[in-house]
Structure 1
Amino acid sequence: MSRILKSGVFCPILTFFQADTEDLDLDSFKKHVLHVTQAGIGPVIVGSNGEAIHLSHEERTTLIQTARQTLDSAGFTDVPIIAGTGGGSTRETLLLTTQAAQAGADYALVITSGYYAGSLASNKPALKAYYKRVAADSPIPILLYNYPGASGGIDLDSDLITELAIECPNIVGVKLTCGNVGKLTRICATVSGTAFAASYPRKNPADQFLVLGGYSDFLVPSTYAGGHGCITGLANLAPYSIASLYANAIASLEDRAQLLGAQHAQGIVARADFTIANAGVSGTKAILEKLEGYGGLPRSPLPPASAEATEALWKHSDVQELVALEKQLRATPP
């Protein structure tokens, strides 16, 4: 079945572990995949928030298979799965991408390997060759993943990203966790519109090149710059709020009377995104435990949030403002 990735909001789904053994907690995982998807958010499996770096190849495969089975059983057969597949080498990245495709992933999100960042960061030809090779040999379309914080400081610039978009028809988007709105605007200026699609069609003509923010704190500004949504860890905690924010941002493009409301909601989301992102995966899981009764601990060596830190984060005004908005939207969904 061909599932096409469209503009919208996507969530890097958390991976859950048994408290005593650190084995996968698939019951919580399945529950969470449905919780997020039912809010209108697309799932990203084994991404950064999913602690991909802590998972074996077999565990990654299990999670992707479980997500696909869970979605299909609940009637979400048309919802595509994005899987994180960046590895330490080109060879491993291609292996992970092939395994993800076989497990049910429709798209791959590929981060740059940062272990040898000292040699790669200033070597644009090597970075370009890496992504061109992965795109050429991948069995599924890929999205570039620019996350300097998780790739040794390597920061793909807008020129390289647009070159890859032009030269590689199997690259269908980019996630900008660098948070650079100027970069996003430059990329959108190149890849948006019918002229680019006509001149540089994707391998599957139904695909387009999506430019996605890596946080939700600039979702409205990125929409006005021509962006196509975001992949945000905050959607683990407030999926209805993020889905509503994006819908309102899109609606305000045609009806400016809705812009003020979108800007107000963006302020709530931006403050919470900043505060919770600073608490990392551990803090996100701790807040999810408060909200939904599951969340649990990260896998070692990542330390869990302390009871004191969890309580301070939970009581923070930025977090409580988002919690109130999420409760309101969940009580009266569209």
Structure 2
Amino acid sequence: MTQSNGSSHAQPKWPNGPGVPLTTPFKPGNDEIDHEALASQVVRCAKAGLSIVLMGTTGEASMMSNAERKAAAATGRKALDEAGLKDAPLCVGTGGGSAQTTIELCKEAAEAGASHALVICPGYFAFAMGQQRQAILGFFKAVFDKSPIPVMIYNFPGAASGIDLTAEEICELAEHPNCFGVKLTCGNIGKGTRVALYTSSPEFLKRRGEVLKKHTETGQFQIGPGFVDTLLPALTARHTMCITSTGCLFPKTIRKLYLTAVKGLEGDMKSFQEARVLQDRLARADGISVATSFVGNKFFLDHYISKGLGGECRLPLAPITDATKKRVIEEFAEDWEFEQSLP
């Protein structure tokens, strides 16, 4: 694949483990993307061992033009390549209001250097879609058919006007050769377990295994929660990853939880107990991160790491309040100290 910055290398594969949907920093005063700050975020989290997702919900993609989204994707790929991470995957959110728009965004993301796409079900017409489940599945299949890069399903009812895919529907979509995983921001670990049982069966792997090996490092259909507060229980329930916005704040801590949990689940009880302690820490931090939302995460980056790294949010997201600033500073102080203590 030839990237937009002129470099050429093999298509990166998606690994097991944690990923992070980065915030998009906007400059105060003119609302433009701060590409330098975005590149810094990409490199910081990638070097900490997290896979990078741009233009997800956390990235405020729905408030950006197609041209801006493509430019941000190009910035992410260039930052990874220049940091010596040419083999690192780059997933870009390409959800749009229609199949046609989503396919266009997938093509533009690929042109900009994305290796994978993340697609949410359009929710604007949820009131009219009703029980038209075949139309919903038809949307995803149309995107899979035309996307030049493999697609991960993004099941987030809160951002899709309540549309919530069932395990059975996800399993049906998983049969498509251009679908490589699902991000479950529905909070349903049991749903993920049912999908994992289906996609790890010998019958499924006989049908899909060779293609999945082209899309993922382990040849597994990727399944994971959209929050880190359930990563340890999700891993015990056959999930392979998580994609969490709290990774913007504590990437090293999250990577340590994943590695320690895997070691513990392989039989090392000392590591399992350590993973439980880390999970407790991150469950608390994740709750604060979600409660303070995008503005809180951006303020964290500006306050604790570098002014301007987080940047502004776009309207209609409200500016940060003094109370939220105080909460971020006070309640994350010890967690940030722990993050800094990690190699």
**Which TM-score band (shorter chain)?**
over 0.9
What is the DSSP-based 3-state SS (H/G/I as helix, E as strand, rest coil) of the residue aligned with 1:211? strand
Tell whether 2:89 aligns with 1:80: yes
Q: Secondary structure at the match of 2:228?
A: coil
Indicate yes or no: 2:249 matched with 1:241.
no
TM-score (norm 2): 0.92
Q: Is the 8 A contact 2:227 2:245 kept in 1?
A: yes
Q: Which amino acid aligns with 1:306?
A: T
Deviates further, 192-201 or 265-274: 192-201
Counterpart selection for 1:224 from 231, 236, 256: 236
Pairwise CA distance, 1:121 = 4.9
Q: 1:232 Cα shift?
A: 0.3
CA contact (8 A) 1:276 1:284 kept: yes
- Structure 1 spans left out of the alignment, 5+ residues: none
- Structure 1 position 67 matched with structure 2 position 76: yes
SS at match of 2:114: coil
Which residue number in structure 2 is paired with residue 141 of structure 1?
150
Q: How far 1:97 moved relative to its partner? A: 0.5
TM-superposed CA distance for 1:202, in Å, is 5.8
Q: Deviations over 1:119-159 (max 9, x none)?
A: 33522111111111111111110000000110001111111
Match of 2:222 in 1: 210
Q: Is the partner of 2:87 in helix, strand or coil?
A: coil
Paired position in structure 2 for 1:22: 31
CA distance in 1, matches of 2:210, 2:103: 20
So what's the TM-score if we normalise by structure 1?
Answer: 0.95
Matched, 1:191 2:179: no
How far apart are residue 198 of structure 1 and its match?
1.5
SS in 2 for 1:217: helix
The runs of at least 4 aligned residues of structure 1 exceeding 3 Å deviation read 201-205
The answer as to 2:310 corresponding to 1:295 is yes
What is the identity, as a one-letter code, of the residue corresponding to 1:106?
A: S
- Answer yes or no: is the 8 Å Cα contact 2:180–2:212 preserved in 1: no
- Separation (CA, whole Å) in 2 of partners of 1:120 and 1:211: 26
Letter in 2 for 1:308: A
The yes-or-no answer on 1:327 pairing with 2:335 is no
Give yes or no for contact 1:121–1:154 (8 Å, CA) kept in 2.
no
What's the CA shift for 1:250?
0.8
Which residue does 1:117 correspond to in 2? 126
User: In structure 2, what residue type is equivalent to 1:108?
Assistant: A
The verdict on how the C-alpha distance between 1:321 and 1:178 changes in structure 2, with shifts beyond 3 A counting, is: farther
What's the CA shift string for 1:287-328, capped at 9, x where partnerless?
Answer: 111111231210122112112321123212xx3342232122
* Matches for 1:243-282 after TM superposition, within 5 Å: 243-254=255-266, 255-282=268-295
Superposed CA deviations along residues 163-219 of structure 1, whole A, max 9, x for unmatched, are: 1112x1110000001111111111111112554212333645433310021010000
Q: For this pair of structures, how many residues does the alignment match?
A: 327
Alignment equivalent of 2:330, drawn from 274, 295, 315 = 315
2:241 partner letter? G
Does structure 2 retain, via aligned residues, the 8 Å contact 1:268–1:321?
A: no
Query: Could you tell me which amino acid in structure 2 is paired with residue 173 of structure 1?
Result: G
Q: Does 1:57 align with 2:60?
A: no
Q: Among all aligned residue pairs of Structure 1 and Structure 2, give the percentage whose two residues are the same amino acid.
A: 36
Unaligned 5+ segments in structure 2 are 1-9
- CA distance in 2 between counterparts of 1:222 and 1:205 reads 22
